[in-house]
Structure 1
């Protein structure tokens, strides 16, 4: 029989030894995914850990210590962050990350004032689902290039058979853990896959560990701080790359809050409120932008830990955040992450990027979006082709809207102008659940 008894409530403080172990579990659960995003985009993994910990603490403060949620690097922003790096380096990414955080914050204020229905009308499943699919499928080429060791300088694959074999072995380990292992280990397949793949790559002789030996134990991360490390230069190109993705990830945030409420048996959408949780996400992302980290989001992996352990103490979550901050200052940890071969990263990414795409497909299926309805078919088709095909529009001399951003904007416009908006919600399962959660509890 499944144990559904709550072991620690949200305001319970465990004994120090138990506290450390429980917080370490959450650290391991988020670690693989959080470091993977900066490793794929060229940002600093140490700064990502630091911003993850600081962002989580800010989130806990804004939500009044009532939501036991951990925040880490958002996969949805991998492609726009990579593009922003090409346009303006880490400084450019920080501008886009700051703008994404502002979008979250403005949305939170609007929800507090006017409710959530306007957001639901803007982002029904028929729009959100295919945009999420574009996020995953648009990264497929990146995963394969890493797995087969594509060299940008020569424009050729270097020892593709060896590297792809290691990538497939890494992928196999990750899949086996995900499918056949139960309990807590099932929640950290990325970390186990990276560890197993790293060991195989080490045996194959493609790991350069010299940087680990040279690295200091204590090291201040390579922070990118505005007005101290650089002078911010506003770029509309980068803004339009990243802010539309923030709009889409809001739907994912709402889904996470509904799941977390169900797991914990509390209505977090109502108390402390959806506006507070979204504001917490926005503030955490703004904090990340001020030190050089990627955008933050609530992590499903940590919700899984809560479901298994039945420990909902926000102090345990806060402890994991403090541990992440400490890890960010350990130089050998960053050097170890930097030594992970592209083949190992590629093997894990094949699965992760596919899961992102599949989660978009699942949103369409769960909401029973009828693609026999012509407007739905048109919206989904146009979003997929524009997003994956890499279409872009140049506005003036210095502004370009492309890829996922253009796909998201196009989908929103099509949904607004085509008749039959009610079909874009399907059976509205997610949104009906949201509306129900936002109603007053008469029994209370």
Structure 2
């Protein structure tokens, strides 16, 4: 029997409950959202502002009908790092902008032709292994952050702090119940930060001298850098949208089940994808990482049964406000690398495991040679670092190449019509909610 709804989508709470419920959403997204900019070298304050503004834009585009919060996307971590190394942060922002435009194009195609074509090109046998590649491709980064000091040398102290942070995060995730089970990352970071402070790894100087009210270090086109188009950047960043689009659709199905409304039909998948795209474009224009709907916040909805878009909008406003509080920004920036490394070990592993779970939940039969071939090729190409040079300056590599090869193999190998994609089916929605 369906649990009673505390606040429906368009119900407005009293001011005190509004603030409390919005803070819950803010805490749920906080740990993961600040981790992404920390890993790619972007100001966490800008990520908070971009997630808040992006969420408000999303709510506007979806006509205030979908209570979804948008935060920093983990899928873009490796592409941003690669683009940054070759073309600077300006190149990475141009790539993020173009990825957002792809969302808009896909939204237009869905509005025109429906969603059937997405089911055909993005079945679980393709998306699952690519998600595994995302997680395992970042494993080396997590271990390096955990074990090494600022000079890249092994540090026993750093590794012990990372392991303590990891242990606390795991313990919280397993032992805690209710809302607190949704914020183990935040609890782990706070606990790890405290341990690191006692170990002498925290420098409070910038926190002390920071102003209370301070504009974030926005990275603006034509002011901070001169945007330039490159096919290399397109090859690095845009193919990631293949995965994030599938993840977005899965999130919408879970949200629909939790709230009891069919968001795929109304306001429509095209509107929600367009909202994600606009949020990513906004982030790229101010120097933030691409945005995506957050599973942690869907979990908050499932537990609290507070589905109000006013609450989600309140969390977005709070995120923007936090971005302009200089002390908070400085405090986030002072988090030692091993603390973030500790939570990253768990997070990146969970990303990889979620790809495996997608294969299991959707009954992908790996005794079928077709499925075995597709998943195997994606994994080796993605994790092995294969690349194709298209021109002297343009190459497809890593996850982008793996995703494209997976899509092509799925379309050309015979037998695909026999095992129809279940990515958008009820069974996955049910499993996702039970986990939340």
Partner of 1:31: 30
Question: 1:226 offset after TM fit, Å?
Answer: 1.5
Residue ranges of structure 2 left out of the alignment (5+ in a row): 430-436
Contact 2:37-2:44 at 8 Å conserved across structures: yes
Contact 1:91-1:232 at 8 Å conserved across structures: yes
Matches within 5 A, 1:88-107: 88-107=87-106
Residues 225-234 or 404-413, more deviating: 225-234
CA–CA distance in structure 2, aligned partners of residues 435 and 200 of structure 1: 39
Partner of 2:282: 287
Partner of 1:361: 356
Q: What secondary structure is seen at the aligned counterpart in 2 of 1:256? A: helix
Partner of 1:331: 326
Residues 379-388 or 211-220, more deviating: 211-220
Deviations 1:238-284 (A, max 9, x none): 21111111111111111111111111111111111111111110111
- Is residue 383 of structure 2 the alignment partner of residue 429 of structure 1? no
Deviations 1:18-40 (A, max 9, x none): 11111111011101110000001
Superposed structure 1 runs of 4+ greater than 2 Å apart? 227-230, 422-425, 428-436
Question: 1:150 offset after TM fit, Å?
Answer: 5.2
* C-alpha RMSD of the superposition: 1.6
Question: 1:216 offset after TM fit, Å?
Answer: 1.2
CA–CA distance in structure 2, aligned partners of residues 393 and 55 of structure 1: 34
Partner of 1:440: none
Contact 2:123-2:423 at 8 Å conserved across structures: no
CA–CA distance in structure 2, aligned partners of residues 434 and 308 of structure 1: 20
Partner of 2:121: 122
Note closer, same or farther for the CA distance 1:200–1:424 as it changes in structure 2 (3 Å cut): farther
Partner of 1:318: 313
Contact 1:124-1:424 at 8 Å conserved across structures: no
Contact 1:370-1:423 at 8 Å conserved across structures: no
Matches within 5 A, 1:114-193: 114-149=113-148, 151=150, 156-159=152-155, 161-193=156-188
Residue ranges of structure 1 left out of the alignment (5+ in a row): 437-444
Deviations 1:288-325 (A, max 9, x none): 11111100000011111111111111011001000000
Deviations 1:120-156 (A, max 9, x none): 11111111110000000000000000000155x6xx5
Contact 1:217-1:331 at 8 Å conserved across structures: yes
- Is residue 29 of structure 2 the alignment partner of residue 65 of structure 1? no
Matches within 5 A, 1:172-251: 172-251=167-246
**What is the TM-score when the length of structure 2 is the normalising length?**
0.96
Contact 1:174-1:192 at 8 Å conserved across structures: yes
Q: What secondary structure is seen at the aligned counterpart in 1 of 2:93? A: helix
Question: 1:158 offset after TM fit, Å?
Answer: 3.3
Question: 1:370 offset after TM fit, Å?
Answer: 0.9
CA–CA distance in structure 1, aligned partners of residues 66 and 403 of structure 2: 30
CA–CA distance in structure 2, aligned partners of residues 103 and 424 of structure 1: 28
Contact 2:210-2:327 at 8 Å conserved across structures: yes
Q: What secondary structure is seen at the aligned counterpart in 2 of 1:93? A: helix
Contact 2:249-2:424 at 8 Å conserved across structures: no
Question: 1:3 offset after TM fit, Å?
Answer: 8.2
Deviations 1:339-390 (A, max 9, x none): 1111100100000000000111011111111111111111111110110011
Question: 1:53 offset after TM fit, Å?
Answer: 0.3
Q: What secondary structure is seen at the aligned counterpart in 1 of 2:141? A: helix
**What is the TM-score when the length of structure 1 is the normalising length?**
0.94
